[in-house]
Amino acid sequence: MARQRKLTPERKEFINGLLEHYQPKDAQDVQDMLKDLLGDTLQGMLEAEMDAKLGYSKYDYKEKDTDDSRNGYSKKTVVSSMGEIDLDIPRDRKGEFDPQIVRKNQTDISNIEDQVLSMYAKGMTTRDISVHLQDVYGVNASAEMISHMTDRILPIAKEWQNRPLERKYAVVFMDAVHFNVREENRTIKKAVYVAIGIRLNGTKEVMGMWIGGNESARYWLGVLNEIKNRGTEDIMIVSVDGLTGFGDAIGAVFPKAEIQRCIVHQVRYTTKFVNYKDLKPFTKDLKAVYQAATEDIALEKLDELEEKWGKKYTASVASWRNNWPQLSTFFKYPPEIRKIIYTTNSIENFNRGLRKVTKSKAIFPSDDALFKSIYLAMMDITKKWTGSGWNWGQTLDQFIIYFGDRITQDDLV
């Protein structure tokens, strides 16, 4: 049963007085009443602050013990969660009055800016946000004003992008997601390169997001060098998609890192050549390869796959043969590590979250507009990344066994 709200006699009398004075007919009238009360309360607090500053209340000159005095008012409009409120800010002749309830340069007394950033992070356009603020709060904020407000996040976002990183990571996932950006009066599809790392304490972090041209191993090499320059000395395992040359780029910067090519990406690539009527039996035989208990068994199953399907789907089977060194890395590890690295699902889920909140923006006007949008989306998505996963205590024991010479006690502090 819902709890009944109980009012003290004094509070009930106060509420009844308000209702009698304002006579609200609906929820909007109540909102207007509260907005009016907020304005009166702020005005009263400003007057009280001036009284305290001068040492005497208005018209009480007998208590005056200062050569300063009141000097009228200046008009000011502030934004509140209930809409815009007009205030009369008291002035003193010496110009020393510095109100605290509404500071001199303060025009927003609500969390509206936080709400704007939150709405922007969830994918609303500046025009949608402008309409929402007008409809809900009565605030007249143009789309341009909203854009300028969100621009204030750019220095923070760029500082985040350049922050120092951990010295060592257990696993790093790398992938790219694509967006349309206006550049020189043309629409260009640009890749956002994303790296997500699992720290040695089991927690995840987005290491960075880089906006570049089409996805390429050469650009990834620049990303990897930046990661190293920001303090990362070693990565145990890197999980990536099947981009040509990606392995060479990783080896050039982090030569000790083991590379696991995403099995899910490989399966998608392989099956796109398979006729629909053969898809189910082919997929079943293929699953026997990558779900095998050991690499030896997996190779036996791959031989069987080739014998059964090799002539009909030569390219599909050959792709597994040619990329086997990077596809089979996970077989050497126990289930605790295998289930983390055999797929880039962690980063694909993150990229899906980026697409979800940016789907209303078909084309971004600039790289900066794209970056502030994905940064805010990233902050919103990663709020849920609390604590470690994957039964990390047991998983870390496995990492220490396999990479004991590269993980010291200091790394685990």
Domain assignment of residue 261, yes or no: yes
Same structural domain for residues 178 and 220?
yes
In a structure prediction context, what are the per-residue pLDDT tens digits for the chain, which is 413 residues long? 445 556 677 677 777 777 887 788 877 777 778 778 778 877 877 887 788 888 777 766 666 667 788 888 999 888 877 778 888 998 988 888 888 777 788 787 776 666 777 777 666 777 777 777 777 666 666 777 777 767 777 888 999 999 999 999 999 999 988 999 988 889 999 999 999 999 999 999 999 999 987 778 889 999 999 999 999 999 999 999 877 788 889 999 999 999 999 998 899 889 988 999 999 999 999 999 999 999 999 999 999 999 999 999 999 999 999 999 999 999 999 888 998 988 877 888 898 888 887 777 778 888 988 998 899 889 888 988 887 777 898 899 999 999 988 998 888 87
Q: Can you give the residue range of the structural domain that contains 56? A: 9-108
Total domain count for the chain? 3
| Rounded CA separation 22/132 (Å) | 26
Same structural domain for residues 231 and 133?
no
Same structural domain for residues 115 and 217?
no
Same structural domain for residues 120 and 268?
no
Domain assignment of residue 408, yes or no: no
Same structural domain for residues 116 and 101?
no
Nearest to 335 by CA among 284, 395, 388: 395
Same structural domain for residues 146 and 252?
no
Q: pTM for this one?
A: 0.71
Same structural domain for residues 101 and 115?
no
What is the secondary structure of 64-109 as a DSSP string? --SS--EEEEEEEEEEETTEEEEEEEEEETTS----SSS-TT--B-
Same structural domain for residues 127 and 257?
no
| Rounded CA separation 238/257 (Å) | 7
Residues facing 179 on adjacent strands: 190
Same structural domain for residues 94 and 124?
no
